């Protein structure tokens, strides 16, 4: 951002000491302010997890994805799409990511009390920076043990875009977690550039078809072809496959015809507070 500001002030041709124009300055101030507030958000209990249900092909809920929400006292609900990038840039993703993992494991523990929730899997999104921490394996192990949960019920979602660098290190870390029983899903699949060479070496359980391929499934024959290819690829790699962002019956039917195993999207339920999800699961 500073580069853009410098560029803009040079372009304006004025030879002054003012590096930033006012708009840029405003964006930088807002970001700095948001960073200060995000730093305090964990302690102030402004972060919450919402849960979105995931169903199998006969409509049984088998898992959920934990999605973070920031309820700011003044600004209201702030989307993770807005503050996760800031958290990643500032390193705040480390304490926030740990808070998410802790809260998710506590939830898995409390699901153990009921017969109809005790087998549910919970998916947690993990950022690149978080995953690349030297002690990530130890952190996950400690958290899982402290909450006394079955590690098989925890599924970590990695994004395809984080696989571009240090693939050997990633495989070592994944294998260590996989040996503990942790599952892996590859999020936003189809939007990154993972080579098939890498894909077959990763100890994955699931590919998650990105929402952008599901959105126009009914009208776009090329999106249907892409989804068919992903499903076939998952099959031959022995992975299960979930579609995200399923909003209509038509999309659902097409995905069923193609042979997708799992579904997630507004058609089945939006991300919701735990009380609401538990009420649905109890029925």
Q: Does 266 bind ligand C2E (CB under 6 A)?
A: yes
Query: Is there binding between residue 188 and ligand C2E (CB under 6 A)?
Result: yes
d(CA 122, CA 95): 20
Largest CA-CA distance found in the chain, in angstroms, rounded: 72
Contact 209, 243 (CB under 8 A): yes
- Does position 244 interact with ligand C2E (CB under 6 A)? The reply is yes
| Region 225-254 residues binding Mg ion, contact defined as CB under 5 A | 244
Q: According to CB under 6 A, which one of 79, 161, 229, 253 is a site residue for ligand C2E?
A: 79
Q: What is the DSSP string of 225-278?
A: HHHHHHHHHHHHTT-EEEE----SHHHHHHHHHHT--EE-STTT---B-HHHHH
- 37 is an interface residue for Mg ion by CB under 5 A: no
Interactions with ligand C2E, residue window 125-184 (CB under 6 A) = 125-127, 157
| Least spacing, CB of residue 125 vs Mg ion, in Å | 5
Q: Which is nearer to ligand C2E, 125 or 173 (CB)?
A: 125
One residue of 17, 81, 196, 282 binding ligand C2E per CB under 6 A: 81
The reply on whether position 125 binds Mg ion by CB under 5 A is: yes
Query: Read out DSSP for 115-161?
Result: TTTTT-EEEEE--HHHHTSTTHHHHHHHHHHHTT--GGGEEEEEEGG
User: Which residues of this protein are in contact with ligand C2E, per CB under 6 A?
Assistant: 52, 67-68, 79-81, 84, 97, 100, 125-127, 157, 187-188, 211, 244-247, 265-266, 271
């Amino acid at each position: 951002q500073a580069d853009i500001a410098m560029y803009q002030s040079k372009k304006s041709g004025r030879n002054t000491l003012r590096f930033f124009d006012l708009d840029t300055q405003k964006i930088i101030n807002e970001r700095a302010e948001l960073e200060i507030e995000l730093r305090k958000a964990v302690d102030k209990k402004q972060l919450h997890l919402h849960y979105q249900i995931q169903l199998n092909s006969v409509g049984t809920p088998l898992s959920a994805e934990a999605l973070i929400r920031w309820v700011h006292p003044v600004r209201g609900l702030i989307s993770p799409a807005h503050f996760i990038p800031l958290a990643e840039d500032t390193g705040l993703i480390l304490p926030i990511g740990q808070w998410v993992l802790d809260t998710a494991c506590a939830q898995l523990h409390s699901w153990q009390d009921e017969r109809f929730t005790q087998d549910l899997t919970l998916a947690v999104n993990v950022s690149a920076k978080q995953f690349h921490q030297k002690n990530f394996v130890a952190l996950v192990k400690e958290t899982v043990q402290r909450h006394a949960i079955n590690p098989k019920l925890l599924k970590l979602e990695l994004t395809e875009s984080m696989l571009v660098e240090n693939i050997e290190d990633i495989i070592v870390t994944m294998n260590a977690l996989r040996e503990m029983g942790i599952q892996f899903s590859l999020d936003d699949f189809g939007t990154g550039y993972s080579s098939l060479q890498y894909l077959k070496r990763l100890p994955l359980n699931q590919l998650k078809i990105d929402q952008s391929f599901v959105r126009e499934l009914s009208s776009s024959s090329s999106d249907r072809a892409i989804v068919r290819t992903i499903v076939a690829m998952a099959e031959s790699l022995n992975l299960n496959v979930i579609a995200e962002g399923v909003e209509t019956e038509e999309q659902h039917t097409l995905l069923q015809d193609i042979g997708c195993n799992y579904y997630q999207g507004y058609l089945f339920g939006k991300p919701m507070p735990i009380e609401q999800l538990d009420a649905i699961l109890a029925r």
